[in-house]
Amino acid sequence: MNIKPIIWITPWVMVYFLAVGNEVWAEEDNLLDSCNKGNSAACFERGKKYVTLDRDNKKAIVLFRKACSADYMTACLWGGNLIQGTGKQYSPQWKEASKMFKKACDAGEDAGCFNLGALYYKEGRASRAKKQFKKACDMGNQPGCDNVKWLSK
């Protein structure tokens, strides 16, 4: 027995999908407009959508850089991670990522200190890594504390 599914879409269903799609596009346009007007949170939110929905890391990095330069620390973390992933040890990308992580760390973001420690460790700078992990630990970051113990052996 060969059963073929029947797909039946009424005009009302099509109108619904078009309306919902237009709302999503309008929201994305609003985020970009707000970002271009200096709203760093909007830059970050649109950057997240570029990463998660559009799979466009290049566009996301541009917006994360913009938000990070406006002191939106979460964007520094996301941007640093993406930028680090585009380079290799001691590359310009890793230098930029380390600056973003350091900015977040200096602003009190434990993840910034942890990420900077991880970057230093991957570059073979264990003593510098340990200092950053210690900062993260002091801010309550348990993986940072674990890494301090591990590097102290």
Is the Cα dihedral 38, 44, 48, 50 positive or negative? positive
How much of the chain exceeds pLDDT 90, in percent?
75
Q: Which two tokens stand for residue 10?
A: 């009424």
Give the containing element (helix H, strand E) for 64: helix 57-69
Using alpha carbons, select from 101, 109, 111 the residue that is nearest to residue 144.
111
Residues 83 and 103: their CA atoms lie apart, in Å, by 15
- Answer whether 0.75 is exceeded by the pTM: yes
Q: What is the per-residue pLDDT across 100-150, written as a single tens digit (0 to 9) for each? A: 999 999 999 999 999 999 999 999 999 999 999 999 999 999 999 999 999
